[in-house]
Amino acid sequence: MKNYDLVIVGGGPAGLAAAVAARDNGIQDILIIERDHELGGILNQCIHNGFGLHTFKEELTGPEYASRFIEQVKERNIDYKLNTMVMDIAPDKTVTAMNSEDGMFVIPAKAVILAMGCRERSRGALNIPGYRPAGIFSAGTAQRLVNMEGYMPGRKVVILGSGDIGLIMARRMTLEGAEVQVVAELMPYSGGLKRNIVQCLDDFGIPLKLSHTVIDIEGKERVEGITIAEVGPDRKPIPGTEIHYECDTLLLSCGLIPENELSSNSGVELSPITSGPIVNDSLETNIDGVFACGNVLHVHDLVDFVSQEATNAGKNAAKYILEGKKEAKKTLEILPVDGVRYTVPKYIRPEEMDETVTVRFRVGDVYKNKAIATYFGDTQISKRKKQVMAPGEMEQVVITKKQLAEYPDIENITIKIEEA
């Protein structure tokens, strides 16, 4: 097996953008390892439009967006292996993988980029009572069946969870002739983008019931009916609020989890909030030379932001390979407080960072007419008013090297939600 300087685990939008950036920044020997039979990741089944407005300044479908990056990878002659599973990443960045042609093989890489994406929460993780009949699908599985395999999962549908995939599948199933009766959401707010609520539910007259969950599934061979009920602030069903729907299909869209088994097995420190790696401003994990980007780092709402983040990871991995590890003279922790759930990155190195660092985060509740405030120590640096902030939409703050240079003695940076 040929030696590679950089191994990228995952050939979805994050892995592809990282590979292109690393090649453009001087790294020749790059290998993308993808477990599926084609590059492009989850975008291949996202046939709706809405991708690429930031990156390509035009509206593309998922496969079109992926193909732009696949073409860039092929133009640069970057190596990739399909149908290949990475089994282990050792702390010394030795990658062990296997496929049916090469068998088990080992690559001693100089740097590794984690770009494995995320997966859906399964029914088992949701503790829904009732039988276990046919007709229960994750929204992503249903999306693949309809868009790629040409199968209809069902005709009368109830959707639990209002994540973006669930909202998009409510529209998709309706367009294919199914009757989507309701979308039930446990939380008092939707987990999806506002534009998807409008375009996928409101435009088709599909009701969204917030603070509701499924309390019973009927049917032994196939789903025959679903009962939902309103939940109180403790998330427990309120007796007397039950609504019954006759249906043959239940789709689950109850959140995405970064695919981090490989990361944790290799000793990468994970965040309890995002379930993704904890990284510094160069998107490097606690293991030297191991970087992370895209949905394996934290779940994004727009693929354009995945590509931006992955481009940075590729550029920084290239810098690491060419220049070696530079010890940080000082590291500042970013503290998320007062409504900010987490930040990516968690650490910034004022002297080693790029001229600007984009700090992305999500809020923990719906906020109206509030402001995002950034503090260096006790000094407020910026304050930006926002009419609405919701957990389904990612927020960001840009921190510059020039700003930090003016405050050499601070110990940390704080980002919070406060009165406008």
287-339: pLDDT as tens digits:
999 999 999 999 999 999 999 999 999 999 999 999 998 888 899 999 999 99
Which helix (DSSP H) or strand (DSSP E) does residue 306 occupy?
helix 303-323
DSSP 229-286: EEB-TTSPBPTT--EEEE-SEEEE---EEE--HHHHHTT--B-TTTSSB--BTT-B-S
pLDDT at 128 over 90: no
Residue with the two structure tokens 């690393």: 22
pLDDT at 125 over 80: no
Q: Quick one: pLDDT at residue 326? A: 83
List, for residues 163-194, the tens digit of each pLDDT value.
Answer: 999 999 999 999 999 999 999 999 999 989 99
Q: Residue 289: what residue type?
A: G
Question: At residue 2, what are phi and psi to the nearest 5 degrees?
Answer: -60, 145
Which helix (DSSP H) or strand (DSSP E) does residue 195 occupy?
helix 194-196
pLDDT band at 55 (very low <50, low <70, confident <90, very high): very high
The contacts found for 305-309 with CB under 8 angstroms, 24 or more apart, are: 305/54, 305/360, 305/394, 306/13, 306/14, 306/17, 307/13, 307/14, 307/17, 307/55, 307/69, 308/54, 308/55, 308/358, 309/14, 309/283, 309/360
In this structure, what is the dihedral angle of CA atoms 119, 123, 126, 128, given to the nearest 10 degrees?
160
Residue with the two structure tokens 């729907």: 245
pLDDT at 1 over 80: no
pLDDT band at 221 (very low <50, low <70, confident <90, very high): very high
Q: Residue 332: what residue type?
A: L
pLDDT at 282 over 90: yes
Q: What is the pTM of this model?
A: 0.94
pLDDT > 70 fraction of the chain, expressed in percent and rounded: 100
Q: Quick one: pLDDT at residue 20? A: 98
